[in-house]
Amino acid sequence: MTGSGVLAPDGKVAAKGTSTTTTGASVGFVVYGYRGCPAAGPNCQPGPDRMRAVLWPASSGAIPGDTITYDNRRGADYDVDRFLRTPVTAGAVQIHH
């Protein structure tokens, strides 16, 4: 797996890269998330942890385009500030520096 990421001071994170599945297929991915807290504060956003994941065939290029394999918020914006995050109902978003 190779990739890069961005961590914003307000607790939002975006990571993009490529990986190989167990079947040998190469996929591109982008994952967005943020750590929730009871009220807005440093390194978090008000409300529950939230996330979005997008997968596409890496052969389609560096960005998803029209060949999306999976997107839990299909049609949403790709900007980390407007990506229509889905509440995390199990587990948690953990951001490590």
The answer, as to whether pTM is greater than 0.75, is no
The overall longest dimension of the chain from CA atoms, in Å, is 44
Going by the DSSP 8-state scheme, the letter that residue 10 receives in this structure is T
- From residue 26, how far is each of 22, 29, 50, 62, 81 by CA, in Å? 10, 10, 26, 12, 28
- The pLDDT, as a whole number, for residue 26 is 93
For 56-85, the pLDDT digits (tens) are: 999 988 888 788 998 888 877 767 666 656
- The pLDDT, as a whole number, for residue 52 is 85
- The pLDDT, as a whole number, for residue 85 is 66
For 17-35, the pLDDT digits (tens) are: 899 988 998 999 988 887 7
Better pLDDT: 94 or 97: 94
